[in-house]
Amino acid sequence: MDDLRLAVRLGRASAAAYTARPVLLLTGLVGAALAVGIEVLGVVLLLGQFGRLGGWDVHEVALLLGLVECGLSFAVAAGYSLETSTFAALVTGGEFDAVLTRPLSPLLWVLSRDVQPRELGRLAVGAATVVWGAHGAGVRWTPAHVGLAVLSVGCCATVLLAIHILGAAVTFRTGQGTEFVNAFIFGGATLASYPLQVFDLSLRVVFTYLVPVALTVYVPALVLLDRPGAPWAGRSLLPLVPVAAAGVLGAAVFAWRGGVNHYQRSGG
Amino acid sequence: MRPAVEVRGLRREFRQRGRPPVVGVDGLDFDIAPGEFVGYAGPNGAGKSTTVKMLAGILLPTAGRVLVDGLVPWRDRRRLTLRMSVVFGQRSGLWWELPLRESFELVGRLYRLPAGDAATRLAELVDGLGLGPLLDRPVRVLSLGQRMRAELAAAVLPRPAVLFLDEPTIGLDVEAKAVVREFLRRRNAAEGTTVLLTTHDLDDITALCSRLMVIDTGRLVYDGTVEALRAAYGTERVLVVDLADTPAAFAVPGATLTRAEGRRRWLSFPRTVSAAAVIERVLAAYDIADLTLEEPDLEDVIRRIYRGEARPERNRS
């Protein structure tokens, strides 16, 4: 717990350092906001043409998309140092040696080294999309609903960050970043932005049970929208959402530790 | 008294696919007493960094025993990090984007230093290293010399019992090297910090270290004082004589004339001959303007050890 508090303090400091470079920060914020904005616009225009997707209207899909983008913003902001090529350079260049001499968990140290404030741009547009979608879909916000949305974003961020960590754990062994990770993070995020029932059963099962990005967004959204959901991914799975997120994070941390052990055994 | 660093039979092999393993470190045995300042020299690839990595808990040994401040580095790595600092010459432990002042504040928190204590100590270190004017600059804009001074301040801020320095003066200019050396000398004297200094720079060693360990192909080939190394394996000492006028011939019993240039003469004599005796003979026979005594060049001695021309026995005199 002490470690976590320290890491939050270090992470805050590294994010705040960007305020000393306002142009970089501002272009980053606007860039991230625009990227999400264009994606939302694309979905809105597309559904404007087709009307509904798997029975969901444009507002309901926007709610999903917004929740995913919020989760992604936290995962990318925190996991920036684990980004494939950055982390591979840290391991192969020997910089990780210095990490192991610090009185903080190596994972928290690496995560807190570079926290990206530009992801606030993504978060802002994501949150606005959630509000717009929920309003259009007639969601009446009760404290329980707000709690559910927060839970969804938190769990989605946790799963996406865990994929980042798993990728880093592999990098300890291969010395190279793997695009596999980005496929799961951004592929998973894109997939989770649409109603699960439009996908093939196998894809649905993978992103619900194996890499539960979709589970963390789709199932809470079902409750928010008062919808029954798809076979194999109904509302009854709600209690599973935090459990699955914690489980995936636990597995990732376990794999990370194995990676660190491998680094210490092999000499980087 | 328990040694600050205790190493027994330390060995590290690196496995290679399809080839026999490479031995990085091959059976090291040594102790470092608390407060000792030890130089660790050796050619590239001799096993210096591998040793330091094992002492710091970064790398697991293939065999052997290590205790640093009473802890097994790889088993008690986290606990050891609070009692040991490592400075890697070419890697930064500071926050690239943050002003130096804030970097130091974070180091204080990281090592759980009481805020008041950290501030007092930091003021002292900033003063000693001349870092005052740099405190508001982010680390990324500092020159290498400035950054290294900052790294050292951060490394000693938590009062480590043991300090491992890996090439801390590499790439620094003469002035920066002098500041770094003076700082390290004072810390070691004032706080009794045990220091293991890995370096290629023999001036670092002669300026700072009471003891030198030389490693070559993974084995210690010398462990003793700098003076003893010079005495045992040094080339001869040289007396440089500036004559008041040019004599027809110049010869001094017990010494060999190795070079002559204008009125300057270079006399070489073995360490068994007293310098005082040679000087006395020169003064008795010639009119002298000036005299300089040159000690054997340590670099030359170590180069000879690397080349295998001198293979000293292990010696801890």
- Report whether A218 contacts A236 (CB < 8 A): no
Shortest Cα–Cα distance, B138 to chain A (Å): 9
Q: Do B91 and A98 touch (CB under 8 A)?
A: yes
What confidence score (pLDDT) does residue B144 get? 87
User: Nearest C-alpha of chain B: how many angstroms from A101?
Assistant: 5
Provide, as residue numbers in chain A, all residues whose Cβ is less than 8 Å from the Cβ of B113. Answer: none
CA distances to A21, A146, A153, B109, B238 from A139, in Å:
40, 11, 17, 45, 93
Q: Are A6 and B109 inside 8 Å of each other by CB?
A: yes
> What SS3 class is residue B37?
strand
Give the rounded distance of the alpha carbon of B256 from its chain centre. Answer: 33
Query: Rounded to whole angstroms, how far apart are CA atoms A255 and A154?
Result: 21
Q: In this predicted structure, what is the pLDDT of residue B258?
A: 86
Mean pLDDT on B242-249: 85
- What average pLDDT score do residues B22-28 get? 92
Distances in Å between the alpha carbon of B157 and those of A3, A113, B131?
20, 20, 14
Query: Hunting for tokens 């597309």 — which residue is that?
Result: A46
Give the integer Cα–Cα distance in Å for A84 and A92.
12
Sequence letter at residue B87: V
Q: Are strands A233-234 and A229-230 parallel, antiparallel or unpaired?
A: antiparallel
pLDDT digit string, tens, across residues A102-153: 999 999 999 998 899 999 999 999 999 999 999 999 999 999 999 999 999 9
Please give the pLDDT value at position A5.
92
B16: nearest CA in chain A? A266
- Condensed to tens digits (0 to 9), the pLDDT of residues B214-231 reads 998 899 988 998 888 877
Task: Say what the ipTM of the complex is.
Answer: 0.84
pLDDT at A17: 87
Nearest CB to B98: which of A13, A264, A266? A13
B91 and A18 within 8 Å at the Cβ level: the answer is no
Q: How do residues B259-297 score in pLDDT, each as one tens digit?
A: 888 889 999 888 788 889 999 999 988 999 999 988 777
Residue B197: which of B34, B74, B210 has the closest Cα? B210
| Test the A interface: residue of B17, B97, B147 with most A CBs within 10 Å | B97
Give the helix/strand (H/E) hosting B306. helix B298-307
Check CB contact under 8 Å for A95 and B53: no
What is chain A's length? Answer: 268
pLDDT per position as a tens digit, B73-132: 999 999 999 999 999 877 777 888 889 999 999 999 999 999 888 899 999 999 988 899
For position B309, what pLDDT does the model report?
65
pLDDT in tens, B31-42: 999 999 999 998
**Tens-place pLDDT, residues A186-210:** 888 888 888 888 888 888 888 888 8
In chain B, % helix, strand, coil (3-state, to 5) comes to 35, 30, 35
> In this structure, what is the dihedral angle of CA atoms A192, A197, A199, A201, given to the nearest 10 degrees?
110
Q: Are B205 and B39 a contacting pair, CB within 8 Å?
A: yes
| Interatomic CA distance for residues A71 and A241, integer angstroms | 14
Residues of chain B found within 8 Å of residue A266, distances taken between Cβ atoms: 14-15
List CB contacts (< 8 A) between A9 and chain B: 106, 109
| Average pLDDT over all residues of chain B | 88
Interface test with A, best of B49, B78, B96, B112 (most A CBs within 10 A): B78
Q: Which of A94, A104, A266 sits opposite B110 (nearest CB)?
A: A104
Contact B192, B36 (CB under 8 A): no
DSSP B28: E
- Give the nearest chain B residue to A109 (CA atoms): B110
CB contact under 8 A, A13 and B74: no
Of B58, B85, B109, the CB nearest to A97: B58
Across the interface, do B106 and A97 touch by the CB < 8 Å criterion? no
Residue B57 and residue B73 in contact, taking contact as beta carbons nearer than 8 Å: yes
Structure confidence at residue A1 (pLDDT): 66
In whole angstroms, what is the distance from residue B259 CA to residue B235 CA? Answer: 16
Q: Look at B109 and A97 and tell me if their CB atoms are within 8 Å.
A: no
Q: Please, is B6 exposed, middle or buried when counting C-beta atoms within 10 Å of its C-beta (0-12, 13-18, 19+)?
A: middle
**Yes or no, beta carbons of B106 and A94 under 8 Å apart:** no
Identify from A97, A101, A113 which residue to disrupt to test chain B contact, counting B C-beta atoms within 10 A and taking the largest count: A101
Q: In terms of CA atoms, which chain B residue is nearest residue A3? A: B110
Indicate the range of B60-69, B71-80, B121-130, B298-307 predicted with least confidence.
B298-307
Q: Do A10 and B110 touch (CB under 8 A)?
A: yes
* pLDDT tens, residue order, chain A (268 aa): 689 999 999 999 989 888 888 999 999 999 999 999 999 999 889 888 888 888 889 999 999 999 999 999 999 999 999 988 889 988 988 889 999 999 999 999 999 988 999 999 999 999 999 999 999 999 999 999 999 999 999 999 999 999 999 999 999 988 887 777 888 888 888 888 888 888 888 888 888 888 888 889 999 999 999 988 777 778 888 999 999 999 999 999 999 999 999 999 987 6
Q: Residue B73's closest chain A neighbor by CA?
A: A101
- Predicted TM-score of the model (pTM): 0.85
Report yes or no: A76 and A119 within 8 Å, Cβ to Cβ: yes
Residue type, B152: L
| Residue of A6, A10, A264 lying closest to B58 (CB–CB) | A264
More confident residue, B254 or A73: A73
Q: What pLDDT sits at residue B316? A: 45
The number of C-beta contacts closer than 8 angstroms across A and B is 71
Shortest alpha-carbon distance between residue A120 and chain B (Å): 19
User: How confident is the model over B59-75, as a mean pLDDT?
Assistant: 95
Q: Give the pLDDT score at B315.
A: 47
| Residue among B14, B91, B110 whose CB faces A102 most closely | B110
Q: Identify whether the C-beta of residue B183 lies closer than 8 Å to the C-beta of residue B165.
A: no
A98 vs B contacts (CB less than 8 Å): 86, 88, 91-93
Q: How far is A33 from chain B (nearest CA, A)?
A: 24
Percent of chain B with pLDDT over 90: 49
The pLDDT score that the predictor gives to residue A35 is 92
How far, in Å, CA of A201 to CA of A185, rounded?
20
Which residue among B57, B92, B98 sits closest to A17, beta carbon to beta carbon?
Answer: B98
| Probe site for chain B from A3, A14, A97 (most B CB atoms < 10 A) | A97
Angle at the Cα of B230 from the Cα atoms of B227 and B236, rounded to 5 degrees: 135
Which one, of A12, A95, A264, lies nearest residue B78 by Cα?
A: A264
Q: Which of A14, A103, A267 sits opposite B81 (nearest CB)?
A: A103
Q: Are A195 and A230 a contacting pair, CB within 8 Å? A: yes
